Structure 1
Amino acid sequence: MDVQIDYFTITRKQIDKLLGASKARDFIMKKSIFSITVGANDFLNNYLLPVLSVGARISQSPDAFVDDMISHFRAQLTRLYKLDARKFVIGNVGPIGCIPYQKTINQLNEDECVDLANKLAIQYNGRLKDMLAELNDNLPGATFVLANVYDLVMELIKNYDKY
């Protein structure tokens, strides 16, 4: 996401040139919504990746990995705030232990999910919720709304026949 924010920085400067700095700032602050969902790939392609992740899991506890993710995400959101972003919708991590890839590599049945992956998602989601509340309190004029992807997707998985 750091590279995407770099691109937004460039775009932000272009908007300044088009509208003027004051109008650009007003436009971004009042009429823009930043929708962001991150985290799943950090777990799937790093911490939970077979073979490569074994060393990471040995050298870093789940708590430390989640702490690093939250710390980095906080810095990214603060950076966007400094670029005049004020309205955010942040999706939490869904039940990544229930995706076909995780079920296949862990040789699970159709109705089973990978416990470790879902526990990591739940742990991250709790920390994310706390962090967004903290940012709402500490960044004047900002609104961070949490989109509960985890519960929505779990509802669909558990009660698919209703839908």
Structure 2
Amino acid sequence: MYIAYMIVLPIFMKLHNSESSVTTFWLCLLLFGVHGGARLTLPKNVNVPAVIAFGDSIVDQGANNNLNTLIKSNFSPYGKDFVDGKSTGRFSNNKTPADMIVEELGIKEHLPAYLQPSLDEKELPTGVSFASGGSGFDPQTPKLVGVFSFADQLKQFKEYIEKLKRIVGEERTQNILANSIFLVVAGSDDLANTYFTIGIRRLQYDIHSYTELMVSSASNFIQDIYQLGARRIGVFGTPPIGCLPSQRTLGGGGLRVCAEEYNKAAEIYNNKLQQELAYLTKTHAQSRILYLDIYNPILAIIENPVQYGLEVVDRGCCGSGKIEVSVLCNHLLPTCSDDSKYLFWDSYHPTDKGYSILVNQLLEKYINDFF
């Protein structure tokens, strides 16, 4: 995610109305130095051999580490609670939802990035993540920050399938694809950044037409992976983006209240996405294409944090918690003394505790619907 950097970008772009100005902006920013066993009870005879993830920073397991982009998290304090305190490129203090889901299914402890340099081929049959922080369904979104688009992720997925065939053969590859759970997580960057904060799409679309563009792109991608063999596909809706700490800062006024215009946009998109996914399930044989609601669960936590064992929901643990994310959340800043009391780790991404609460709710509500 790249919310924090966008405070000055709209002003900068007005002064320099060209694509090169965006590149110059990022360079200037750099120069200024900111920088086990299954726990779930599944239906009888159900086999989930792998989890395969696409999307943005919520399930980016380190894909951006070697990209020429500022949208990274392979440095301290990210990963401070991960294995050996290692910063792997996960946008959290510890695990991501992808890690938690693959662990709850009893497949393996962590879901690796497909592009992880040290990735053992033995990991491929049990799943990988192609997700890239800062990406989105709108093709313009990843271009703005130089990360992998959904077209790029689809190309990598095709490469992955060919590698699987070489390792386990054609028949087992098709079995893995048909029975695995696919996670597709995107949309927040499209709305919060490309549409609202930078505003380049706002010049071309109202929110209704822009969300149509997003849903159309999401639908096309889902159909692409279906054609390649995916059948169990869970698509995350967007959260109440106006209540994310960075969006409170950018759009919530002096009191940093939730930016309701942003939340309304998320609701419009989610409603359209839900309808499209229901249609795709009906029109694609043997598919289970699910809409996974994260808007309402996260909003419930924000409105009543004590019920979930949390105390702070309006700012992150890193730095002031109001704007720091990615390179703005770095080893030069202090972090909170107890991140288990915080919903958010930085100004955009939840803590391990926050993710754990959300994932537990999602699995309890949706897991049987995949079968």
Question: Are 2:184 and 1:39 aligned?
Answer: no
Matching of residues 82-97 of structure 1 within 5 Å: 82-97=227-242
Question: Are 2:286 and 1:137 aligned?
Answer: no
Matched residue, 2:175: 26
Deviation of 1:132 (Å): 0.7
Matched residue, 2:111: none
C-alpha distance in 2 between matches for 1:108 and 1:13: 53
Q: CA RMSD in A?
A: 1.3
Name the structure with the higher helix share.
1
Deviation of 1:44 (Å): 1.6
Deviation of 1:22 (Å): 2.2
Deviation of 1:108 (Å): 4.3
Matched residue, 2:255: 109
Matched residue, 1:60: 205
Displaced runs of 4 or more, over 6 A: none
Deviation of 1:46 (Å): 0.2
Local SS of the residue matching 2:290: strand
Matched residue, 1:78: 223
- Structure 2: runs of 5 or more not aligned: 1-149, 309-371
- Structure 1: runs of 5 or more not aligned: none
Tell me how many residue pairs correspond in the alignment: 158
Normalized against structure 1, the TM-score is what? Answer: 0.91
Could you tell me which amino acid in structure 2 is paired with residue 125 of structure 1? N
Normalized against structure 2, the TM-score is what? Answer: 0.41
Matched residue, 2:166: 17
More RCO (CA 8 Å, sep 6+): 1
Q: List per-residue Cα deviations over 1:84-123 (Å, max 9, x = no partner).
A: 011011111000000111111222425x211111011000
C-alpha distance in 2 between matches for 1:87 and 1:72: 19
C-alpha distance in 1 between matches for 2:254 and 2:184: 31
C-alpha distance in 2 between matches for 1:59 and 1:146: 28
C-alpha distance in 2 between matches for 1:85 and 1:120: 29
C-alpha distance in 2 between matches for 1:129 and 1:78: 15
Local SS of the residue matching 2:248: helix
